Structure 1
């Protein structure tokens, strides 16, 4: 759909793959691939360096050729950053971490989804690969955001050794984005810890 609009009216499609890229969402490697989008420009960081500070912008030659100004960046093209990025790519391929993200991520989505049927405050579980969200609500019918419950769950899971992020417009969504090498055994512990933590929310 987006491609059709661009083709009809012009413009560029820019995909931000800072969080979703490099296998985070599974074997398609990029988030936009799951949407069937053909971007003109892709921005990327985080996953490309596995914690090392590196980012990149990729585009087609006909677009980059139109940039007439000289682009300057203090850290642009640094040899160490480029080497780290290359090694990260090699490791993802060699260890098949994108496949692991898809398999382990599917397990987590399925099992955490079961918890949403068990616990009244889990309103939704969604995601792709190892980029998962648990939305907490006060009431499943009204979908009233469970902000306090989210804060409690973050603390209770932290006590069990898990660090989750928090997001969503109302601050009621737990963000689970573990390393791509997360094992199935680790994933089982995540499910068990979340289940136990929810039972202890007051």
Structure 2
């Protein structure tokens, strides 16, 4: 979120959230309506719009998948007014959707520029900007040597691509993603604090609410769930506008055993946090931060013990 630091030449358009947004998934015209809402914001500035940059799947917003056609409509509009479009594929690309190598392909749209990063090196620093020859030739004033890739990182990047192909990581993202969504959706039927399970491939968001009917976000509850998931050695992030979405971005070598462990652990944690069986959960109704939650843990020794929950929470963050 750009917040108060947003520059005057930056224009933020509404992301197409069909769960909490103005237009729902049941609306067959949701893509068009969200695109029209974005155009209404950009139209007064149409002569000064240089580019649109966004994730084809809104990972940071909690694995929000745009309604079909939305991305193409936005790309068409930006090009109509003379701008270029950039697909931020750093988190959602490289086969993570399962069905396609690039997330923008799921929308049938083609960007002018693609940015990729972290997954390319599987931990090794590497990134890339991919574009057309026409756009690249416009940058001929740049020093080519300055932007060449480090050879070690390049070798690692090539190795990652080879392993992904050999081990069929993209296909695994598709099958394991479907299994994880299916099992989490089953969990939703038994736990009223799961408002929605959404995502594509191995980008999955679980929207935590106080009750399914009101859809009221429960970021405090999500914070406690993610803490306990980390205690069980499962890495989960709290994302979304309200910080109430559990975001699962597991490794693309995820196995069926891993999926069952994730789901069973979440089931156990949710069961222990039910309103009627856990009195301390009422404390979560008050706005709290991670630091506040840490302070609730007792420190019987009075010393800084690295084995304490508070210390382990800091290490996990």
Length-normalised TM-score, structure 2: 0.61
2:84 counterpart of 1:12: yes
Superposed, 1:38-187 pairs within 5 Å as: 38-71=110-143, 76-187=148-259
**Aligned 8 A contact 2:79 2:85 in 1:** no
Change (3 A) 1:79 1:173: same
Residue 95 (structure 2) aligns with: 23
Identify which range, 62-71 or 1-10, moves more after superposition: 1-10
Deviations 1:136-169 (A, max 9, x none): 0112222111011101111221222211111111
Which 5+ residue runs of structure 1 have no aligned equivalent? none
Residue 2 (structure 1) aligns with: 74
**Aligned 8 A contact 1:2 1:37 in 2:** no
Which 5+ residue runs of structure 2 have no aligned equivalent? 1-72, 274-280, 282-317
Quick one: higher RCO (CA 8 Å, sep 6+), 1 or 2?
1
**Aligned 8 A contact 2:197 2:207 in 1:** yes
Change (3 A) 1:75 1:2: closer
Identify which range, 28-37 or 7-16, moves more after superposition: 7-16
SS of the equivalent of 2:221 reads: helix
**Aligned 8 A contact 2:99 2:106 in 1:** no
Alpha-carbon shift at residue 10 of structure 1 (Å): 2.7
**Aligned 8 A contact 2:96 2:173 in 1:** yes
- Structure in which a larger fraction of residues adopt strand: 1
Question: CA separation in 1, counterparts of 2:141 and 2:222?
Answer: 47
Q: Larger radius of gyration, structure 1 or 2?
A: 2
**Aligned 8 A contact 1:46 1:54 in 2:** yes
Change (3 A) 1:98 1:163: same
Question: CA separation in 1, counterparts of 2:150 and 2:74?
Answer: 35
Deviations 1:1-26 (A, max 9, x none): 23432453332110000001111111
**Aligned 8 A contact 1:23 1:98 in 2:** yes
